[in-house]
Amino acid sequence: MQPYNSASIKQIFQSFNKLNVLVIGDVMIDAYMWGNVNRISPEAPVPVVSISKKETRLGGAANVALNLQTMGANPILCSLIGDDEGSKIFFNLLKKQKLTNKGIFKSKSRITTIKTRVIGGNYQMLRVDEEVETPINTKETELLTSQIKRLVVSEKVDVIIFEDYDKGCITPELIKNIVAFAKQKNIPIVVDPKKKNFLAYAGVTLFKPNLKELKEGLKVDFDHNNIKELEKIASGFIKKQNIGTLLITLSEKGIYTHNSKTKALIPAHIRNISDVSGAGDTVISVAALCLALNLSPALTATLANLAGGLVCEKVGVVPIDKKQLLEEAVRLMLGNSE
């Protein structure tokens, strides 16, 4: 139970630079149309956004890769996208960000997911989604599984992240095979779940749902403000699923971490919230890096919570700023004990 000092926190952040992280999941393109709102449409009672700028960014599991990259780690993305115009945009964005495409496959039976956000001023007015949500087929699952196994070995992967957006890239068969393979190799697995595969992630190292996902995944409702009730739900879930650590994000209330040794609610810090988009991607990225370094659950939750809060101050889906996170960590954690 030692206090952290500036040097020890900086050393942790420096250690992130040596980590190789495999990210499996639904990748997408986040498209933005920025403009101003000065009038209401005469055709319908809706605002007219006068577009001044358009932009495309990496999103979904690819935003997790961006967060890992900005934290200094080496991310390797594994996913399936469409064989379409969207895929060309996606590969160009990977190239621009200097991210490898060796784990990305194209499928003629799918389309590349694109989420277009229309932003008037600093507020999101509308989102338009282009996507398919059907699971990838058996052949595609086998292809992706084989490539993941090859990359885990060739890239000397330190931690694996499942970034599940329920778009079909992650199947129960893929999960089962990779979890078993990772256990053989003694590689920790971190999961950011969604509803469909919620109970398929048995035996993983760290499982990070938000409150809504936990309630929907377990098909239960409970008073999350009652810490004893939250502990009871968490204990039962961990035992049933054979999970190492459960990390539950609680929006403005912070983050709750629970395993056999630690039960702690880490409060959120007061922020000027602009946009919560992508906050979960940031939380899972920082948590995975902490886990790869075998940091304590309390410190892992604290840094992940801090990172998630910081990106909420930015408009749109943006990765964490490592320098800003380090400065905040040093400022807020000096003298705090583990």
Q: Which residues are catalytically annotated?
A: 281
**Spatial contact of 304 and 52, defined as CB atoms under 8 Å apart:** no
**What is the C-alpha separation between 266 and 246, in angstroms, rounded?**
13
**259 alpha carbon, distance to own chain's centre:** 20
Helix (H) or strand (E) holding 35: strand 27-40
Rounded (10°) angle between helices 227-241 and 211-218:
60
CA proximity to 6, closest of 276, 332, 321 = 332
For residue 270, count CB atoms less than 10 angstroms from its CB and return exposed for 0-12, middle for 13-18, buried for 19 or more: exposed
CA proximity to 159, closest of 201, 191, 187, 193 = 187
